[in-house]
Structure 1
Amino acid sequence: MKHQKHRWLTTFAKRIACLLFLLTFALGTCASPASDENVFRFNISPNGYPPYLIVDQDAPSGIMWDVVSLITERLGCQIVAKKVPRKRVDQMLLDGYIDGTSRAEEWTHEPEKFLFTEPVVKVQEVFFTPKDAGKIYHSPEDLFSKTVITHLGYMYPALEPHFESGAIKRFDVSRGRDMFIFLLHGDRFDTAVVNLLVGKWILKNEGLQDQFTISSGGISSYGFRVMLRKESKAFADKFNAELARIRENGELDAILANYR
Protein backbone atom coordinates (compact mmCIF):
# COMPACT_ATOMS: atom_id res chain seq x y z
CA MET A 1 0.00 0.00 0.00
CA LYS A 2 2.79 2.36 0.94
CA HIS A 3 4.57 1.39 -2.26
CA GLN A 4 1.50 2.22 -4.39
CA LYS A 5 1.05 5.53 -2.58
CA HIS A 6 4.71 6.37 -3.18
CA ARG A 7 4.35 5.58 -6.90
CA TRP A 8 1.22 7.73 -7.10
CA LEU A 9 2.98 10.64 -5.40
CA THR A 10 5.99 10.26 -7.71
CA THR A 11 3.78 10.25 -10.81
CA PHE A 12 1.81 13.23 -9.51
CA ALA A 13 5.03 15.14 -8.80
CA LYS A 14 6.31 14.43 -12.31
CA ARG A 15 3.08 15.71 -13.84
CA ILE A 16 3.23 18.87 -11.76
CA ALA A 17 6.84 19.40 -12.80
CA CYS A 18 5.88 18.93 -16.45
CA LEU A 19 3.02 21.42 -16.15
CA LEU A 20 5.29 23.94 -14.46
CA PHE A 21 7.82 23.53 -17.27
CA LEU A 22 5.17 24.10 -19.92
CA LEU A 23 3.83 27.10 -18.02
CA THR A 24 7.31 28.57 -17.75
CA PHE A 25 7.81 27.98 -21.46
CA ALA A 26 4.57 29.72 -22.34
CA LEU A 27 4.89 32.71 -20.03
CA GLY A 28 7.09 35.41 -21.44
CA THR A 29 7.67 33.51 -24.68
CA CYS A 30 6.25 36.21 -26.94
CA ALA A 31 8.22 39.39 -27.44
CA SER A 32 5.36 41.76 -26.61
CA PRO A 33 5.13 43.80 -23.40
CA ALA A 34 3.60 41.98 -20.41
CA SER A 35 0.10 43.28 -21.13
CA ASP A 36 0.10 41.50 -24.52
CA GLU A 37 2.41 38.62 -23.70
CA ASN A 38 0.65 36.13 -26.02
CA VAL A 39 0.79 38.43 -29.06
CA PHE A 40 3.67 38.93 -31.50
CA ARG A 41 3.18 42.05 -33.62
CA PHE A 42 5.12 41.55 -36.82
CA ASN A 43 5.79 44.34 -39.32
CA ILE A 44 4.97 43.48 -42.93
CA SER A 45 5.33 47.08 -44.25
CA PRO A 46 2.66 48.92 -46.27
CA ASN A 47 3.88 47.58 -49.63
CA GLY A 48 5.27 44.25 -48.44
CA TYR A 49 8.46 42.78 -49.82
CA PRO A 50 7.39 39.94 -52.13
CA PRO A 51 8.04 37.05 -52.09
CA TYR A 52 9.24 37.47 -48.49
CA LEU A 53 6.20 39.50 -47.43
CA ILE A 54 3.09 39.65 -49.62
CA VAL A 55 0.36 42.07 -48.55
CA ASP A 56 -1.89 42.52 -51.60
CA GLN A 57 -4.12 39.54 -50.78
CA ASP A 58 -6.87 38.79 -48.26
CA ALA A 59 -4.29 37.60 -45.73
CA PRO A 60 -0.53 38.17 -45.47
CA SER A 61 1.78 35.54 -46.94
CA GLY A 62 5.35 35.19 -48.15
CA ILE A 63 8.48 33.38 -47.00
CA MET A 64 9.11 35.43 -43.87
CA TRP A 65 5.45 35.63 -42.89
CA ASP A 66 4.96 31.88 -43.29
CA VAL A 67 8.07 31.03 -41.28
CA VAL A 68 7.46 33.54 -38.50
CA SER A 69 3.77 32.68 -38.18
CA LEU A 70 4.56 28.95 -38.04
CA ILE A 71 7.19 29.38 -35.34
CA THR A 72 5.31 31.91 -33.22
CA GLU A 73 2.20 29.73 -33.27
CA ARG A 74 4.25 26.81 -31.96
CA LEU A 75 5.61 29.06 -29.24
CA GLY A 76 2.07 29.83 -28.13
CA CYS A 77 1.93 33.33 -29.62
CA GLN A 78 -0.74 34.93 -31.76
CA ILE A 79 0.88 36.76 -34.68
CA VAL A 80 -0.61 40.13 -35.66
CA ALA A 81 0.40 41.92 -38.87
CA LYS A 82 1.37 45.61 -38.68
CA LYS A 83 2.14 47.86 -41.65
CA VAL A 84 4.85 50.32 -40.64
CA PRO A 85 6.74 52.52 -43.17
CA ARG A 86 10.42 51.63 -43.48
CA LYS A 87 11.74 54.88 -42.00
CA ARG A 88 9.62 54.50 -38.84
CA VAL A 89 10.23 50.81 -38.18
CA ASP A 90 13.30 51.03 -35.93
CA GLN A 91 11.85 53.59 -33.53
CA MET A 92 8.45 51.91 -33.39
CA LEU A 93 10.15 48.63 -32.56
CA LEU A 94 12.10 50.29 -29.75
CA ASP A 95 8.91 51.97 -28.52
CA GLY A 96 7.07 48.64 -28.37
CA TYR A 97 4.48 49.35 -31.08
CA ILE A 98 5.73 46.29 -32.96
CA ASP A 99 7.69 43.30 -31.69
CA GLY A 100 9.63 42.24 -34.76
CA THR A 101 10.44 42.99 -38.38
CA SER A 102 12.33 41.26 -41.18
CA ARG A 103 15.82 42.66 -41.56
CA ALA A 104 19.41 41.88 -42.42
CA GLU A 105 21.70 43.09 -39.68
CA GLU A 106 23.88 44.80 -42.30
CA TRP A 107 20.92 46.92 -43.45
CA THR A 108 20.41 48.45 -40.01
CA HIS A 109 21.80 51.89 -39.11
CA GLU A 110 22.39 51.08 -35.44
CA PRO A 111 22.28 47.28 -35.18
CA GLU A 112 23.71 47.34 -31.65
CA LYS A 113 20.35 48.68 -30.42
CA PHE A 114 18.56 45.51 -31.49
CA LEU A 115 18.61 41.74 -31.20
CA PHE A 116 18.62 39.53 -34.29
CA THR A 117 17.56 35.92 -34.71
CA GLU A 118 19.56 33.41 -36.69
CA PRO A 119 19.13 33.87 -40.49
CA VAL A 120 15.87 32.51 -41.87
CA VAL A 121 17.17 32.69 -45.46
CA LYS A 122 20.07 34.21 -47.35
CA VAL A 123 19.36 37.23 -49.55
CA GLN A 124 21.51 38.21 -52.51
CA GLU A 125 21.57 41.64 -54.15
CA VAL A 126 22.26 41.84 -57.89
CA PHE A 127 22.07 44.32 -60.76
CA PHE A 128 19.09 44.25 -63.15
CA THR A 129 19.67 46.02 -66.48
CA PRO A 130 17.40 46.42 -69.54
CA LYS A 131 18.45 44.02 -72.29
CA ASP A 132 18.33 46.70 -74.97
CA ALA A 133 20.99 48.66 -73.05
CA GLY A 134 23.51 46.07 -74.19
CA LYS A 135 25.41 46.19 -70.88
CA ILE A 136 25.76 44.01 -67.81
CA TYR A 137 27.18 45.42 -64.58
CA HIS A 138 28.99 43.11 -62.17
CA SER A 139 30.75 45.27 -59.59
CA PRO A 140 30.40 48.70 -57.97
CA GLU A 141 33.36 49.95 -60.01
CA ASP A 142 31.39 49.27 -63.20
CA LEU A 143 28.87 51.88 -62.06
CA PHE A 144 31.12 54.88 -61.59
CA SER A 145 29.42 57.94 -63.18
CA LYS A 146 26.21 55.91 -63.54
CA THR A 147 22.79 56.32 -61.89
CA VAL A 148 21.42 53.36 -59.96
CA ILE A 149 17.79 52.87 -58.98
CA THR A 150 17.49 51.84 -55.33
CA HIS A 151 14.70 51.13 -52.86
CA LEU A 152 13.70 54.08 -50.67
CA GLY A 153 15.01 53.75 -47.12
CA TYR A 154 17.25 50.75 -47.86
CA MET A 155 20.95 50.51 -47.10
CA TYR A 156 23.43 49.01 -49.57
CA PRO A 157 26.72 48.50 -47.67
CA ALA A 158 28.71 47.59 -50.79
CA LEU A 159 27.61 50.78 -52.55
CA GLU A 160 27.26 53.30 -49.70
CA PRO A 161 30.86 54.65 -49.91
CA HIS A 162 30.38 55.32 -53.62
CA PHE A 163 27.00 56.99 -53.07
CA GLU A 164 28.56 59.25 -50.43
CA SER A 165 31.53 60.18 -52.62
CA GLY A 166 29.31 60.88 -55.60
CA ALA A 167 31.04 58.28 -57.77
CA ILE A 168 27.67 56.58 -58.20
CA LYS A 169 24.34 58.42 -58.21
CA ARG A 170 21.39 56.94 -56.34
CA PHE A 171 17.71 57.35 -57.26
CA ASP A 172 15.21 56.12 -54.66
CA VAL A 173 11.89 54.48 -55.51
CA SER A 174 9.32 53.37 -52.92
CA ARG A 175 7.92 50.29 -54.69
CA GLY A 176 9.83 47.33 -56.08
CA ARG A 177 7.71 47.16 -59.24
CA ASP A 178 8.37 50.83 -59.99
CA MET A 179 12.13 50.23 -59.95
CA PHE A 180 11.77 48.21 -63.16
CA ILE A 181 9.25 50.58 -64.75
CA PHE A 182 11.58 53.56 -64.17
CA LEU A 183 14.47 51.54 -65.54
CA LEU A 184 12.60 50.64 -68.73
CA HIS A 185 11.20 54.10 -69.44
CA GLY A 186 13.70 56.51 -67.90
CA ASP A 187 16.64 57.48 -70.09
CA ARG A 188 18.82 58.69 -67.21
CA PHE A 189 18.88 55.38 -65.29
CA ASP A 190 21.47 52.68 -65.92
CA THR A 191 20.64 49.76 -63.64
CA ALA A 192 18.78 48.79 -60.47
CA VAL A 193 20.15 46.98 -57.44
CA VAL A 194 17.51 44.51 -56.28
CA ASN A 195 17.28 41.37 -54.20
CA LEU A 196 17.59 38.48 -56.67
CA LEU A 197 14.47 36.61 -55.55
CA VAL A 198 12.44 39.82 -55.25
CA GLY A 199 13.45 40.92 -58.74
CA LYS A 200 12.62 37.58 -60.32
CA TRP A 201 9.27 37.52 -58.52
CA ILE A 202 8.33 40.98 -59.79
CA LEU A 203 9.41 40.29 -63.37
CA LYS A 204 7.49 37.00 -63.43
CA ASN A 205 4.30 38.61 -62.13
CA GLU A 206 4.62 41.60 -64.47
CA GLY A 207 5.50 39.49 -67.54
CA LEU A 208 8.86 41.26 -67.93
CA GLN A 209 11.26 38.29 -67.62
CA ASP A 210 12.61 38.70 -71.16
CA GLN A 211 13.36 42.41 -70.88
CA PHE A 212 16.17 42.38 -68.31
CA THR A 213 19.59 40.87 -67.77
CA ILE A 214 20.91 39.98 -64.32
CA SER A 215 24.51 40.29 -63.14
CA SER A 216 26.17 36.89 -62.90
CA GLY A 217 27.42 37.47 -59.37
CA GLY A 218 25.80 39.22 -56.46
CA ILE A 219 27.26 42.40 -55.01
CA SER A 220 26.32 41.20 -51.52
CA SER A 221 24.80 38.29 -49.63
CA TYR A 222 23.28 38.62 -46.17
CA GLY A 223 21.23 36.64 -43.70
CA PHE A 224 17.58 37.73 -43.59
CA ARG A 225 16.55 37.62 -39.93
CA VAL A 226 13.88 38.77 -37.53
CA MET A 227 14.95 41.95 -35.74
CA LEU A 228 13.73 42.26 -32.13
CA ARG A 229 14.17 44.44 -29.08
CA LYS A 230 17.17 43.68 -26.88
CA GLU A 231 14.99 42.42 -24.04
CA SER A 232 13.46 39.71 -26.26
CA LYS A 233 16.31 37.23 -25.76
CA ALA A 234 14.08 34.51 -24.30
CA PHE A 235 11.85 34.71 -27.37
CA ALA A 236 14.87 34.78 -29.72
CA ASP A 237 16.36 31.66 -28.14
CA LYS A 238 13.13 29.70 -28.53
CA PHE A 239 12.61 31.07 -32.05
CA ASN A 240 16.12 29.98 -33.06
CA ALA A 241 15.59 26.50 -31.62
CA GLU A 242 12.38 26.00 -33.59
CA LEU A 243 13.96 27.52 -36.72
CA ALA A 244 16.76 24.96 -36.51
CA ARG A 245 14.18 22.19 -36.13
CA ILE A 246 12.14 23.15 -39.21
CA ARG A 247 15.34 23.59 -41.19
CA GLU A 248 16.35 20.06 -40.22
CA ASN A 249 12.99 18.36 -40.82
CA GLY A 250 12.35 19.96 -44.23
CA GLU A 251 9.49 22.29 -43.28
CA LEU A 252 11.56 25.37 -44.11
CA ASP A 253 12.48 24.00 -47.55
CA ALA A 254 8.80 23.30 -48.22
CA ILE A 255 7.93 26.94 -47.47
CA LEU A 256 10.74 28.21 -49.70
CA ALA A 257 9.58 25.95 -52.54
CA ASN A 258 6.19 27.67 -52.55
CA TYR A 259 7.79 30.96 -53.64
CA ARG A 260 10.39 29.88 -56.17
Structure 2
Amino acid sequence: MIKVITLSITALLSFSSVAASPNDINYYVIAKQAAPFQIENKADQHSGIVTDIVKKVFEGSQYAINYHSYPFNRMISILEGGGQANWITYGSPSWGGVQAKNLSEEPIYTVKHVLLSSKKNEFTFNNMKDIENKIVVLLHGFDYPQLTPFIQSGKVEELRVKDYQAAFRIVKKLQGDAAFVEMDSRIKYNLSELNLDREQYKTQSFNKIIPDYPIYLAFDPNMDKSIQTFINERLKNMKSSGELDQIINNYI
Protein backbone atom coordinates (compact mmCIF):
# COMPACT_ATOMS: atom_id res chain seq x y z
CA MET A 1 0.00 0.00 0.00
CA ILE A 2 2.82 2.38 0.85
CA LYS A 3 4.51 1.64 -2.47
CA VAL A 4 1.30 2.44 -4.38
CA ILE A 5 0.90 5.79 -2.61
CA THR A 6 4.57 6.64 -3.23
CA LEU A 7 4.25 5.86 -6.88
CA SER A 8 1.07 7.96 -7.12
CA ILE A 9 2.75 10.98 -5.53
CA THR A 10 5.75 10.57 -7.79
CA ALA A 11 3.47 10.44 -10.80
CA LEU A 12 1.67 13.61 -9.71
CA LEU A 13 4.93 15.47 -9.19
CA SER A 14 6.13 14.32 -12.58
CA PHE A 15 2.89 15.54 -14.18
CA SER A 16 3.17 18.93 -12.43
CA SER A 17 6.69 19.45 -13.70
CA VAL A 18 5.51 18.76 -17.25
CA ALA A 19 2.45 21.04 -16.89
CA ALA A 20 4.50 23.94 -15.51
CA SER A 21 6.60 24.57 -18.61
CA PRO A 22 9.32 27.23 -18.28
CA ASN A 23 7.93 28.69 -21.51
CA ASP A 24 4.46 29.23 -20.02
CA ILE A 25 3.50 32.88 -19.42
CA ASN A 26 0.60 33.23 -17.00
CA TYR A 27 -1.29 36.38 -17.90
CA TYR A 28 -3.73 37.70 -15.28
CA VAL A 29 -6.86 39.57 -16.39
CA ILE A 30 -9.21 41.68 -14.27
CA ALA A 31 -12.66 40.32 -15.09
CA LYS A 32 -15.26 42.77 -16.43
CA GLN A 33 -13.73 45.86 -14.81
CA ALA A 34 -10.67 46.85 -16.82
CA ALA A 35 -11.84 47.86 -20.32
CA PRO A 36 -10.27 49.14 -22.51
CA PHE A 37 -7.06 47.76 -20.95
CA GLN A 38 -8.34 44.20 -20.59
CA ILE A 39 -11.52 42.99 -22.30
CA GLU A 40 -13.05 39.51 -22.37
CA ASN A 41 -16.24 38.43 -24.09
CA LYS A 42 -18.59 35.50 -23.52
CA ALA A 43 -16.57 33.33 -25.88
CA ASP A 44 -13.59 33.73 -23.57
CA GLN A 45 -11.74 35.74 -26.19
CA HIS A 46 -9.36 38.35 -24.86
CA SER A 47 -8.50 41.80 -26.21
CA GLY A 48 -7.78 45.32 -24.94
CA ILE A 49 -4.77 47.62 -24.87
CA VAL A 50 -2.70 45.64 -22.37
CA THR A 51 -3.83 42.25 -23.68
CA ASP A 52 -2.99 43.12 -27.29
CA ILE A 53 0.43 44.39 -26.21
CA VAL A 54 1.11 41.14 -24.34
CA LYS A 55 -0.02 39.11 -27.36
CA LYS A 56 2.26 41.10 -29.65
CA VAL A 57 5.23 40.76 -27.28
CA PHE A 58 5.08 36.96 -27.44
CA GLU A 59 3.90 36.62 -31.04
CA GLY A 60 6.03 34.11 -32.94
CA SER A 61 8.10 33.25 -29.85
CA GLN A 62 8.61 30.00 -27.94
CA TYR A 63 6.42 31.30 -25.14
CA ALA A 64 2.76 30.31 -24.65
CA ILE A 65 0.25 32.61 -22.91
CA ASN A 66 -2.11 31.10 -20.35
CA TYR A 67 -5.03 33.37 -19.41
CA HIS A 68 -6.31 33.66 -15.83
CA SER A 69 -9.37 35.88 -15.29
CA TYR A 70 -10.55 36.96 -11.83
CA PRO A 71 -12.37 39.86 -10.14
CA PHE A 72 -9.83 42.51 -9.12
CA ASN A 73 -9.61 41.79 -5.38
CA ARG A 74 -9.36 38.04 -5.99
CA MET A 75 -6.63 38.55 -8.59
CA ILE A 76 -4.57 40.70 -6.23
CA SER A 77 -4.95 38.13 -3.47
CA ILE A 78 -3.71 35.37 -5.80
CA LEU A 79 -0.73 37.39 -7.00
CA GLU A 80 0.20 38.38 -3.45
CA GLY A 81 0.21 34.66 -2.66
CA GLY A 82 2.67 34.03 -5.49
CA GLY A 83 0.39 33.28 -8.42
CA GLN A 84 1.38 30.95 -11.23
CA ALA A 85 5.07 31.05 -12.14
CA ASN A 86 6.18 33.76 -14.58
CA TRP A 87 2.96 35.71 -14.24
CA ILE A 88 2.33 39.03 -15.95
CA THR A 89 -0.36 41.73 -15.70
CA TYR A 90 -0.18 45.53 -15.64
CA GLY A 91 0.57 48.06 -12.92
CA SER A 92 2.15 51.33 -11.87
CA PRO A 93 4.53 52.61 -9.17
CA SER A 94 1.73 54.86 -7.92
CA TRP A 95 -0.51 51.85 -7.19
CA GLY A 96 1.88 50.16 -4.78
CA GLY A 97 1.57 46.52 -3.77
CA VAL A 98 2.17 43.56 -6.03
CA GLN A 99 1.36 45.62 -9.14
CA ALA A 100 4.36 47.86 -8.46
CA LYS A 101 7.10 45.47 -7.33
CA ASN A 102 8.59 44.45 -10.69
CA LEU A 103 7.73 46.54 -13.74
CA SER A 104 8.79 46.61 -17.38
CA GLU A 105 11.53 49.06 -18.35
CA GLU A 106 9.22 50.79 -20.84
CA PRO A 107 5.87 52.30 -19.84
CA ILE A 108 3.06 51.19 -22.12
CA TYR A 109 0.55 54.00 -21.55
CA THR A 110 0.05 57.29 -19.71
CA VAL A 111 -3.09 57.44 -17.59
CA LYS A 112 -4.96 60.75 -17.59
CA HIS A 113 -7.94 61.49 -15.36
CA VAL A 114 -10.71 63.83 -16.44
CA LEU A 115 -13.85 65.43 -15.09
CA LEU A 116 -16.92 64.58 -17.17
CA SER A 117 -19.97 66.83 -16.87
CA SER A 118 -23.03 67.77 -18.92
CA LYS A 119 -22.68 70.42 -21.60
CA LYS A 120 -25.96 71.90 -20.39
CA ASN A 121 -25.38 74.34 -17.52
CA GLU A 122 -21.70 73.63 -18.03
CA PHE A 123 -18.97 74.94 -15.77
CA THR A 124 -15.22 75.41 -16.13
CA PHE A 125 -12.90 73.52 -13.82
CA ASN A 126 -9.69 75.23 -12.71
CA ASN A 127 -9.46 74.03 -9.11
CA MET A 128 -11.57 72.31 -6.46
CA LYS A 129 -13.40 75.53 -5.59
CA ASP A 130 -15.14 75.23 -8.97
CA ILE A 131 -16.89 72.02 -7.90
CA GLU A 132 -17.62 72.84 -4.28
CA ASN A 133 -21.16 71.83 -3.30
CA LYS A 134 -21.37 69.63 -6.40
CA ILE A 135 -21.67 65.84 -6.62
CA VAL A 136 -18.59 63.86 -7.58
CA VAL A 137 -19.57 60.55 -9.19
CA LEU A 138 -17.14 57.65 -8.63
CA LEU A 139 -17.20 53.97 -9.52
CA HIS A 140 -17.38 51.44 -6.70
CA GLY A 141 -13.91 50.17 -5.83
CA PHE A 142 -11.99 53.15 -7.18
CA ASP A 143 -10.55 55.37 -4.47
CA TYR A 144 -8.56 58.56 -5.00
CA PRO A 145 -6.55 59.80 -2.00
CA GLN A 146 -6.34 63.26 -3.59
CA LEU A 147 -10.14 63.60 -3.39
CA THR A 148 -10.60 62.18 0.10
CA PRO A 149 -9.98 65.44 2.06
CA PHE A 150 -12.60 67.31 0.00
CA ILE A 151 -15.16 64.53 0.47
CA GLN A 152 -14.50 64.17 4.20
CA SER A 153 -14.76 67.92 4.74
CA GLY A 154 -18.11 68.01 2.94
CA LYS A 155 -16.90 70.43 0.26
CA VAL A 156 -18.03 67.93 -2.37
CA GLU A 157 -20.57 65.14 -2.11
CA GLU A 158 -19.52 61.62 -3.14
CA LEU A 159 -21.89 59.39 -5.10
CA ARG A 160 -20.82 55.81 -5.87
CA VAL A 161 -22.22 53.92 -8.86
CA LYS A 162 -21.77 50.35 -10.09
CA ASP A 163 -21.07 51.02 -13.77
CA TYR A 164 -20.42 53.59 -16.48
CA GLN A 165 -24.00 53.65 -17.72
CA ALA A 166 -25.18 54.80 -14.28
CA ALA A 167 -22.42 57.44 -14.10
CA PHE A 168 -23.30 58.89 -17.50
CA ARG A 169 -27.01 58.89 -16.65
CA ILE A 170 -26.48 60.83 -13.41
CA VAL A 171 -24.20 63.40 -15.06
CA LYS A 172 -26.78 63.97 -17.78
CA LYS A 173 -29.69 64.19 -15.33
CA LEU A 174 -28.00 66.50 -12.81
CA GLN A 175 -26.87 69.05 -15.36
CA GLY A 176 -24.14 71.24 -13.95
CA ASP A 177 -24.50 69.76 -10.46
CA ALA A 178 -22.60 66.48 -10.94
CA ALA A 179 -19.31 65.43 -12.50
CA PHE A 180 -17.77 62.01 -13.07
CA VAL A 181 -14.07 61.48 -12.22
CA GLU A 182 -12.46 58.73 -14.27
CA MET A 183 -9.64 57.84 -16.69
CA ASP A 184 -10.01 59.61 -20.02
CA SER A 185 -9.44 56.36 -21.93
CA ARG A 186 -12.18 54.51 -20.05
CA ILE A 187 -14.67 57.33 -20.54
CA LYS A 188 -14.03 57.46 -24.30
CA TYR A 189 -14.24 53.69 -24.64
CA ASN A 190 -17.46 53.32 -22.64
CA LEU A 191 -19.22 56.26 -24.29
CA SER A 192 -18.52 54.54 -27.60
CA GLU A 193 -19.58 51.10 -26.35
CA LEU A 194 -22.88 52.50 -25.05
CA ASN A 195 -23.45 54.47 -28.30
CA LEU A 196 -23.78 57.74 -26.41
CA ASP A 197 -23.30 61.13 -28.03
CA ARG A 198 -20.01 62.62 -26.82
CA GLU A 199 -21.25 66.07 -27.80
CA GLN A 200 -23.68 66.01 -24.88
CA TYR A 201 -20.79 65.84 -22.41
CA LYS A 202 -17.93 68.12 -21.47
CA THR A 203 -14.54 66.61 -20.61
CA GLN A 204 -11.95 68.63 -18.68
CA SER A 205 -8.50 67.69 -17.46
CA PHE A 206 -8.34 66.70 -13.80
CA ASN A 207 -4.56 66.41 -13.62
CA LYS A 208 -4.24 69.30 -11.14
CA ILE A 209 -5.87 66.95 -8.61
CA ILE A 210 -4.87 63.51 -9.95
CA PRO A 211 -1.58 63.92 -11.86
CA ASP A 212 -1.00 61.92 -15.02
CA TYR A 213 1.06 58.78 -14.46
CA PRO A 214 2.48 55.90 -16.55
CA ILE A 215 1.42 52.28 -16.44
CA TYR A 216 3.70 49.35 -17.21
CA LEU A 217 3.59 45.61 -17.63
CA ALA A 218 3.90 44.12 -14.13
CA PHE A 219 5.92 40.93 -13.67
CA ASP A 220 6.18 38.11 -11.19
CA PRO A 221 9.00 39.25 -8.83
CA ASN A 222 10.53 35.80 -9.38
CA MET A 223 10.12 35.80 -13.16
CA ASP A 224 13.01 34.21 -15.05
CA LYS A 225 15.45 37.00 -15.98
CA SER A 226 15.73 35.80 -19.57
CA ILE A 227 11.97 36.23 -20.02
CA GLN A 228 12.08 39.74 -18.58
CA THR A 229 14.91 40.64 -20.95
CA PHE A 230 12.92 39.25 -23.87
CA ILE A 231 9.82 41.28 -22.92
CA ASN A 232 11.76 44.51 -22.39
CA GLU A 233 13.52 44.19 -25.74
CA ARG A 234 10.23 43.55 -27.54
CA LEU A 235 8.59 46.55 -25.85
CA LYS A 236 11.48 48.82 -26.92
CA ASN A 237 11.13 47.63 -30.51
CA MET A 238 7.34 48.06 -30.43
CA LYS A 239 7.69 51.59 -29.11
CA SER A 240 10.25 52.64 -31.72
CA SER A 241 8.25 51.05 -34.57
CA GLY A 242 4.99 52.72 -33.51
CA GLU A 243 3.27 49.41 -32.74
CA LEU A 244 2.41 50.49 -29.18
CA ASP A 245 0.63 53.61 -30.43
CA GLN A 246 -1.22 51.60 -33.08
CA ILE A 247 -2.60 49.22 -30.45
CA ILE A 248 -3.68 52.09 -28.18
CA ASN A 249 -5.36 53.93 -31.06
CA ASN A 250 -7.50 50.86 -31.81
CA TYR A 251 -9.37 51.44 -28.56
CA ILE A 252 -9.38 55.18 -27.92
One of 113, 135, 138 as aligned partner of 1:150: 138
One of 190, 193, 196 as aligned partner of 2:178: 190
CA-based RMSD of the aligned residues comes to 2.9
In structure 2, the CA distance between the partners of 1:189 and 1:116, relative to structure 1 (3 Å rule), is: farther
Kindly provide the CA deviation profile for residues 39-61 of structure 1, in whole angstroms up to 9, marking residues without a partner as x. 22223222143322222364211
One of 35, 38, 57 as aligned partner of 2:23: 38
One of 167, 177, 189 as aligned partner of 1:179: 167
Specify the SS of the correspondent of 1:178. helix
User: Do structure 1's residue 240 and structure 2's residue 226 form an aligned pair?
Assistant: no
Structure of larger gyration radius: 1
CA offset at residue 106 of structure 1? 1.4
- Answer whether contact 1:93 1:228 (CA < 8 A) is retained: no
Q: Aligned residues, how many?
A: 226
User: Which amino acid letter does the alignment assign opposite residue 230 of structure 1?
Assistant: P
Please list, as runs of the form range in 1=range in 2, the aligned pairs for 1:216-227 lying within 5 A after superposition.
Answer: 216=205, 218=207, 219-227=210-218
Specify the SS of the correspondent of 2:47. coil
In structure 2, the CA distance between the partners of 1:250 and 1:134, relative to structure 1 (3 Å rule), is: closer
User: Which amino acid letter does the alignment assign opposite residue 30 of structure 2?
Assistant: S
CA offset at residue 72 of structure 1? 3.1
CA offset at residue 247 of structure 1? 0.6
Report the TM-score when normalising by structure 1.
0.73
User: Do structure 1's residue 115 and structure 2's residue 106 form an aligned pair?
Assistant: no
- Answer whether contact 1:163 1:169 (CA < 8 A) is retained: yes
In structure 2, the CA distance between the partners of 1:72 and 1:129, relative to structure 1 (3 Å rule), is: same
One of 220, 228, 252 as aligned partner of 2:219: 228
Cross-structure match for 1:212 = 201
Kindly provide the CA deviation profile for residues 144-174 of structure 1, in whole angstroms up to 9, marking residues without a partner as x. 3433122322243432443455544433334
Q: Distance in 1 between matches of 2:162 and 2:219?
A: 24
- Could you say which structure has the higher helix fraction? 1
One of 48, 73, 88 as aligned partner of 2:74: 88
Cross-structure match for 2:64 = 78
User: Which amino acid letter does the alignment assign opposite residue 170 of structure 2?
Assistant: F
Cross-structure match for 1:253 = 245
Which sections of structure 2, spanning at least 5 residues, go unmatched?
A: 1-18
One of 36, 41, 52 as aligned partner of 1:51: 36
Deviates more, 1:241-250 or 1:201-210: 201-210
CA offset at residue 83 of structure 1? 2.2
Report the TM-score when normalising by structure 2.
0.75
One of 135, 138, 157 as aligned partner of 2:123: 135
User: Which amino acid letter does the alignment assign opposite residue 153 of structure 1?
Assistant: G
Which sections of structure 1, spanning at least 5 residues, go unmatched?
A: 1-33
Q: Percent identity?
A: 22
Kindly provide the CA deviation profile for residues 9-35 of structure 1, in whole angstroms up to 9, marking residues without a partner as x. xxxxxxxxxxxxxxxxxxxxxxxxx92
Q: Distance in 2 between matches of 1:160 and 1:62?
A: 30
